[in-house]
Every structure is written in structure tokens, then in C-alpha cells.
Amino acid sequence: MYDFLTLAIVMVEGVGLGAIFFGGLLWTVRKGVLSKHPALWFFGSLLLRTSIILVGFYFAGREHWERWLACLLGFVAARIIVTRLTRPPVEHRNSQAHEASHAS
């Protein structure tokens, strides 16, 4: 059996890499939309973020497929976390029906 502590550490590294990647994407979108040269922002950010992630995965995974998988699971978990934290607030679906009932 593989060392659980090592896999947990590598998974946390994957979460950190995912936070860097998706946090950097959010920052790029905010800066790029307001820029005079958005293509430069998006392309430069893509190259930088991808390079950081590839190097991070390489050092976290080394020759062990279990580490690669744990790092990938942490990366996907970070995507879910960042997506949920940056989602705009959702209005209640019943608010329209509630307003309609007062109209009659």
C-alpha cells in the first residue's frame, strides 16, 4: 500500500496548483477585459499558468502514477472550490412567482 501521508501532501499540492491556475485565470479575465490588448493578457497568462502547472505536476508526481492521480484530484477539487467561491449570487427562483401572486 502506498504511503497515505505522501498522497495527502501531493493532493494538497494539487489544490495549491489548481488555486494558482484558476485564481490566475480569474485575475486575467478581470485585467484582460479592461485592457487595450486583451489577447496579450490572455495568451501570456495561458503560457505562464500552464508552465507553472506542468512544472508543479512534474515535481509532485515524479515517477509514481499514484502521485500524479492525487495531484490531479487536488487540481480538480481546486477548480470546484474556485468555481463555487466566485459564482455570482443566485436569486431565489420563487421570487418571480411570489411577485406574480401579488399582482392579481
Where along the chain do its domains lie? Answer: 4-84
Closest Cα to residue 78, out of 48, 45, 55, 49?
A: 49
In the 8-state DSSP scheme, what is residue 62?
T
pLDDT bin (cut points 50, 70, 90) of residue 91 is confident
**How much is the pTM?**
0.78
Tell me the mean pLDDT in the region 6-22. 95
17 and 52 Cβ atoms separated by less than 8 Å: yes
